[in-house]
Structure 1
Amino acid sequence: MNFDSIILSAVAAELNSRIKGGRVDGIHQPSPLDMVLTIRHGGGNHSLLISAEADSPRIHLTSVKRPNPKTPPGFCMLLRKYLAGGRLEGVEQVDFDRILHLKFLAYDGERLTLVVEIMGKHSNIILVSAEGKILGAVKPVGRSKNRYREILPGRQYLSPPPLNKVNPLAVRPEELSHMLHEAFEGGCPDEKRLASWLKDSFTGISPFIARELAKRSEGDTGRLKDEFLALFSGVREGEFLPVIISDDKGRTVGFYAFPSLQYPEENQHERPSICTVADIYFNTALPREELEDAREEFLSRLRREMEGRKRSIDSMKETLQEYQGAERFKEIGELILSQPSLIQPEAESAELTDYYSPEGNTITVSLDPRLNAAENAEAYFKKFRKALSGAESLKEQVLREEGELGLIEKVLKSAESITKTEQIEELRKVLLERGIQTGKQEAAGGKAKPEFEGYRIQKITSGNWEILVGL
């Protein structure tokens, strides 16, 4: 379950309630894209986790202690330089988008903003000065990656480009009525169409909340208007009722800022804090989902590898069946040598008596017209030796493939009961020792594209100035 704008709004409200005015006592970077700020407030410490991971970007208070690297990364050192000892003045959500501004007053009186952008693979954590200049980012973005919006020290911070949608917190009842009439002309669309329209028309409405509103309205646009206004009035007023969502086995499968009609009521459990339910989900359900995904991906690769081995073995056994006729090449060579007078110069074939046949039948033997009788016989002996050698080599290969197939079948059986991702890596290593690759192939390395590739631009640096000249 992803962080959408409603969840982010609930998080902002909770952070303002619980840690606004607190002092930054510690800053750590436990992983390349995760930051943990320790905020001292109300006589206790609060750990604020901010993650820019593509598959699970988020921000919330956490109770989980994470190990930190011995040497702090550069961005961690930058935040310590500017924010350590400062105070959190407040948390603001930008235009109901998935962007939070954490406002800090540094110990030297400077005002700074830590921008948290929760946007999938484009998520980022950016420190911005009071003048709007970028001081640093957990994921720097150069011109070669984004020509509209560079995220580099010294550049002016620009918000992500607007999507030209309506802010649901600012829409007036009459405006919403007009939008609904224009879209559906007083008709009763189905829930799928309603959800699609909501998602495409309003800022911050995720597929989840679009389906929720469509389900609550049951295809009635009048009812949708009432449900829409009531829901976003609650968001505007900070009225949230966080729930942790479980499946029928009691396992956590999601969370949200309020109960949902999309899950059975008995599977939704109220909690007083959005940060609490987010922390539970991301530290229980998410690791389990990641394990299940990793295990299924590993099992799929094993099954494909196993099927490939079976096809290869079947093919080699068919070839071995063909090699069983190799003895005939030797016999034909000997027949040619025993009846040289029947081999005419430049003949493409010859009629020879088959002494190896009980009946002594006459057979037609193919010849190479460029060769004499002895050379044609040698050509058949060569085919015999090659087939014999190939058969021996193929038998060894079949035995090797069957051994590897047996190993893969054993690993497949073990993998079905895996309970930790580390076990997958251990099984991969077992297979890799036998030359069986089951991991993702690394992309071939290559040189990064020049910053202005495709443009006739010359960059000149002089002192603190960078001059770009179009040629």
Structure 2
Amino acid sequence: MSFDGTFLHAMTAELAQQFVGGRISKIQQPYPLEVVLTIRSQRKNLPLLLSANASLARAQVTTIPYANPQTAPNFVMTLRKYLENASIESIEQVQNDRILMINLRSRDELGDQEDLQLITEIMGRHSNIFLIEKSSQRILELIKHVSPDQNRYRLLMPGAQYVQPELADGFDPFDSQITAADWEQVWLQLRDLKNKPRQIWQHFYQGLGTDTALELINQTRGAGDATELVELATTFWRRFDQVTPTIGLQNEKLQFAAIPYETFADRRTGFANLSEMLDCFLGQKAESDRKHQIASALMQRLSTVIKRNEKKLKKLNQTLASAQNADENRVKGEILTTYLGQVPEHAAKVTLANYYEENQPITIALSPALTPAKNAQKYFTRYQKDKNAKIYVSQQIEETQAELDYLNGISAQIDVGEPKDIEDVRVELIQQGILRPDNKKKKRKFKISPAEQFYASDGTSILVGKNNLQNDQLTLKKARKSDLWLHTKNIPGSHVIIEDADPSEETIMEAAKLAAYFSKARQSSQVPVDYVKVKAIRKPNGAKPGFVIYTGQKTAYVTPNADLVEQLRKRPLIQKNTDQTNQ
């Protein structure tokens, strides 16, 4: 996949059509390197996402939900100061390179007109987002500050002069002044079989990703001379005037493009626009990457605590194994006591009759420095110590295993959850003493985010908790006693509530598939899912968040299905009324 200059050309035209003349009504920074501008245009509010993520840098309208941090970062505070209610004058691309420029008109605190630019550089790990004062080209703020020793070409700090990055070599395919001599030269280069055509085209044209260069090679393959080459290349670029968002396989790699590339196998079209296609193509990867950004420190701490408990459990099991000799020490002590008269003084060992096993003499190790009676007492002391250890260590193993199961459950919830659910997990780990609270942050009253709502095929509402705090709130406070509760059997996962006292079999199976999907068994098949009325659920005193016990359950075996999950997210045209059912 490549968000190259060619794709940005098509995206710029799409965004300009949607937003020029609109006004910015809301500005948010849900993730460290991503900004969402809610723009009121053409009687609609649309969220424009600008991302400086190293692997997913892009600009698009997105419908993927997001959650805002409790404390707004400095960058978004600056944007709000300058850009709230600003009008969008134009949206432009710098030649055919990966630089998107949004020209804005706002008013300062005195009411004077102010022209600003919001520039997004889509350049891999060098991606960045700048707020620029247009007249002076002074950087007011940028999403990634870069120290001078990391970038000596230009200073990337607030207050510095904005210097455009070096543009890629080559002609702009959409606004080029290419002479006949230039075409003749590239034609001769392509005829020379020693040269690589992909690199020739990428040097000749500006902003070509590998996928676009391969398609251009395919489109111009039949040229017999330089004149035909010009015609074929020009025809190819004209196709970008009417975009048809496309996903397909190129060299066995999934790619996206603004038009249907013939080099794509298994082409998929039918998207309303480029932004909708990007949500489909990048949605899961973007969510995973966002989650990693937000939860990296949390996961690192969680991993450390899990490893510590695994190490502790291993040592406890070793201690328990060594304590299994308790009865053997008791037997040796009793035999020594019985035959004290036969035990020589200062002996290192003695062999005596074992009345516990006939005709099987037993050799007992002795301490020469101790009397026979004290040697016997030593074995009884060991016996009592091992006996006590077995009781204590067994209890410790049970508690450590429970803690490990709890921590692995938290880890599974982070894996299957969404970025907006991470804050709930963080608060829970602070409450459990696993994470330290950040005393530097201003304390606010924490509110548990609501469970996600799905809809069965018949319109029945299904609620899914994504973490332990949500699970407790959903099962113990929100759900009615007559609702149906579901959870994967002996597998960490979500609590699922069907808001109906008597759901259909199809609804139960759909809810079971949701329970399996939002669990550690997401990639498995034939996952066991228990279901029972909420009134049968009980939470033991002192139990960890999310832990409940129940009886009288039934079990269904289902295979998780990601497509079904997306389908169940959509509200049906006619929603089932469950009020009467639950009375």
TM-score band by shorter chain is: 0.5 to 0.7
Residue 154 of structure 1 aligns to a residue whose secondary structure is coil
- Pair member with larger Rg: 1
- 2:219, 2:233 within 8 Å by CA — same for their partners in 1? no
Residue equivalent to 2:467: 426
- Cα 1:419/1:124, change in 2 over 3 Å: closer
- The answer to whether the aligner puts 1:176 opposite 2:177 as a matched pair is no
Q: CA deviation at 1:157?
A: 1.6
Instruction: State the distance in 1 between where 2:408 and 2:311 align.
Output: 15
Change in 2 beyond 3 A, CA 1:123/1:425? farther
Matching residue of 1:204: 207
Change (3 A) 1:331 1:80: closer
1:350-371 deviations in Å (ceiling 9; x for gaps): 2331343544554433233444
SS in 1 for 2:10: helix
How many Å separate the matches in 1 of 2:237 and 2:372? 97
Aligned to 1:140: 145
Tell me which residue corresponds to 2:480. Answer: none
CA distance in 1, matches of 2:28, 2:419: 24
1:9 shift after superposition: 0.8
One-letter identity of the residue aligned with 1:379: K
1:36 maps to: 37
CA distance in 1, matches of 2:69, 2:413: 33
Who is 2:96 aligned against? 96
Measure how far apart 1:378 and its partner are. 3.4
Work out which of the residue numbers 153, 156, 163 in structure 2 matches 1:158.
163
- Distance apart, 1:134 and its partner CA: 0.5
Kindly indicate whether residue 394 of structure 2 is the aligned counterpart of residue 387 of structure 1: no
Residue matched to 1:118: 122
Q: Is the 8 A contact 1:213 1:227 kept in 2?
A: no
1:96 counterpart SS class: coil
Identity fraction in percent: 24
Number of residue equivalences: 407
Partner-residue secondary structure (3-state), 1:269: coil
Q: How far apart, in 2, do the equivalents of 1:113 and 1:207 lie?
A: 30
Deviations 1:411-437 (A, max 9, x none): 99999999998557425987797499x
Aligned residue in 2 for 1:258: 259
Structure 2: how far apart are the matches of 1:330 and 1:224?
99
Partner Cα separation in structure 2 for residue 309 and residue 139 of structure 1: 38
Partner of 1:49: 48
Over 3 Å counting, the alpha-carbon distance change for 1:326 and 1:167 in structure 2 is farther
CA contact (8 A) 2:345 2:368 kept: no
Letter paired with 1:59? A
Q: Given that residues 351 and 362 in structure 1 are in contact (C-alpha distance below 8 angstroms), is that contact kept between their aligned partners in structure 2?
A: no
Whole-Å separation in 2 of the counterparts to 1:426 and 1:25:
34
2:512 corresponds to? none
Instruction: Please tell me whether the aligned partners of residues 260 and 267 of structure 2 are also in contact (alpha carbons under 8 angstroms).
Output: no
Secondary structure of 1:158's counterpart equals coil
Structure 1's unaligned 5+ residue stretches are 248-252, 437-471
Corresponding residue number in structure 2 for 1:469 = none
Aligned amino acid, residue 207 of structure 2: G
Amino acid at match of 2:467: E
Relative to 1, partners in 2 of residues 1:281 and 1:363: Cα closer, same or farther, differing over 3 Å?
same
Give the structure 1 partner of residue 58 of structure 2.
Answer: 58
> How does 1:322-471 map onto structure 2 within 5 Å?
323-337=323-337, 338-339=339-340, 342-345=343-346, 347=347, 349-359=348-358, 361-397=360-396, 399=398, 425-426=466-467, 434=544
Q: Match of 1:26?
A: 25
* Aligned counterpart, 1:239: 241
Query: How far has the Cα of 1:117 moved from its partner?
Result: 1.5
Residue-by-residue CA offset, 1:262-292 (whole Å, 9 max, x unaligned): 5457732265xxxx331x2355554455678
Q: Is the 8 A contact 2:64 2:283 kept in 1?
A: no
Please name the residue that 1:6 is paired with: 6
Unpaired runs of 5+ in structure 2? 422-463, 472-491, 494-542, 547-583
Return the alpha-carbon distance in structure 2 between the equivalents of residues 286 and 327 of structure 1. 63
What displacement does 1:114 show? 1.9
Report the Cα distance in structure 2 between the residues aligned to 1:228 and 1:396, rounded to whole angstroms: 80
Distance 1:360 1:378 in 2: 25
**Given residue 112 of structure 1, which amino acid in structure 2 is its aligned partner?**
L
How far apart in 2 are the matches of 1:167 and 1:371? 97
TM value normalised by structure 2: 0.52
Query: Match for 1:206: what amino acid?
Result: G
Following TM superposition, by how much is the alpha carbon of 1:137 offset from its aligned partner in structure 2, in angstroms?
Answer: 1.9
Contact 1:16/1:91 (<8 A) preserved: yes
Q: For 1:65 and 1:393, locate their aligned partners in 2 and report how far apart those are by CA, in whole Å.
A: 49
* Pair 407,78 (structure 1): closer, same or farther in 2 beyond 3 Å: closer
Query: How far apart are 1:115 and its partner, in Å?
Result: 1.0
Note if contact 1:291-1:421 (Cα within 8 Å) is conserved in structure 2.
no
Looking at structure 2, the residues matched to 214 and 376 of structure 1 have their Cα atoms a distance apart, in angstroms, of 91
Letter in 2 for 1:209: T
Deviation track 1:276-309 (CA, whole Å, cap 9, x = no partner) reads 331x2355554455678999x9xxx9xxx99x99
> Root-mean-square deviation (CA), in Å?
5.6
Q: CA deviation at 1:58?
A: 2.6
Q: 1:392 to 1:76 in 2, by over 3 A?
A: closer
* Distance across 2 between alignment mates of 1:355 and 1:224: 104
Higher RCO by CA contacts (8 Å cutoff, separation 6 or greater): 1
Secondary structure of 1:209 counterpart? helix
Shift of 1:323: 4.2
In the superposition, relative to structure 1, how do residues 103 and 313 fare at CA in structure 2: closer, same or farther (>3 Å)? closer
Would you say the 8 A contact 2:120–2:129 is kept in 1? yes
Taking the aligned partners of 1:230 and 1:90, their CA distance within structure 2 comes to: 32
Following the alignment from structure 1 to structure 2, what is the Cα–Cα distance between the partners of residues 81 and 416?
Answer: 36
- Distance, in Å, in 2 between the alignment partners of 1:366 and 1:75 is 75
Cα deviation for residue 10 of structure 1 reads 1.0
Write out per-residue CA displacement over residues 367-400 of structure 1, whole angstroms, 9 at most, x where no aligned residue.
3344443443333233322322232234335555
Return 5-14 or 136-145, whichever deviates more.
Answer: 136-145
